[in-house]
Chain A
Amino acid sequence: MMDEKIKKEIKSKIQSSDIHLFMKGTPLFPQCGFSNTVVQILTYLEVSFTSTDVLEDEQMRDAIKEYSNWPTIPQLYIKGNFMGGCDIIKEMFESGELKEEFSKENIN
């Protein structure tokens, strides 16, 4: 079971900015193709986002999967809500839904 401390840490991360990305590596140095794809999409849409490098924190890497009940990284959160991993974000981007979501949440 996830301990309260890390759960609080996750909550503060995903509520501290409109967009938060749990990824492998950093936006400048992504360490995985899927993480890089999401970074490129967010960069293309010119939205600012914060990120967490799960490779730096093994406990966080497991805890975030339990928190969202989603077994893989990357994981994108918008206004504290889990939006999906690489496949879903890519699909939403290609269909225009992601841009719509950002404007709906007045994120720019």
Chain B
Amino acid sequence: MTIKEIELKKILTESFPEANIKIDDLAGDDNHFALTIISSKFKGMSRIDQHKMVYDALGSKMGNELHALSIKTQIP
């Protein structure tokens, strides 16, 4: 199961329209990505809640089409 980088960006942009989203394809297999997402939505949230917001945006993709995603969240 894989997911295209463009599709990943599209899904995230829907939930974080104003965010700066940077995706690195770690292994070139559409399965291992590193994501940096800078959004004002994270203001005042714990790191865990920030990451949970990202996971919620990805829904069922996480753990299925998307095996390994490392996440870095930041506030602008």
Answer yes or no: do A and B interact.
yes
A interface residues (Cβ-Cβ under 8 A, vs B): 33-34, 69-72, 82-88, 91
Which residue on A lies nearest to B35, using beta carbons? A87
Stretch at the interface among B7-15, B16-24, B62-70: B62-70
Q: Count B interface residues, CB 8 Å.
A: 11
Residues of B within 8 A of A72 (CB): 55, 62-63
Interface SS of chain B: mixed
- Whether B48 lies near A84 (C-beta < 8 A) is yes
Interface on B for A, CB 8 Å cutoff?
Answer: 47-48, 51-52, 55, 62-63, 68, 70-72
* Given A87-B70, A87-B71, A87-B72, A71-B63 contact (CB < 8 Å): yes
CB-defined contacts of B48 to chain A, threshold 8 Å? 70, 82-84, 88
* Smallest CB separation, A49 vs chain B (Å): 19
Which residue of A has the minimal Cβ distance to B58? A71
Known: A34-B68, A71-B63, A72-B62. A84 touches B47 (CB 8 A): yes
What are 18 inter-chain pairs, A to B, with CB distance below 8 A? A33-B68, A70-B52, A70-B55, A71-B55, A71-B62, A72-B62, A72-B63, A83-B48, A84-B47, A84-B48, A84-B51, A85-B51, A86-B70, A87-B51, A87-B70, A87-B72, A88-B51, A91-B47
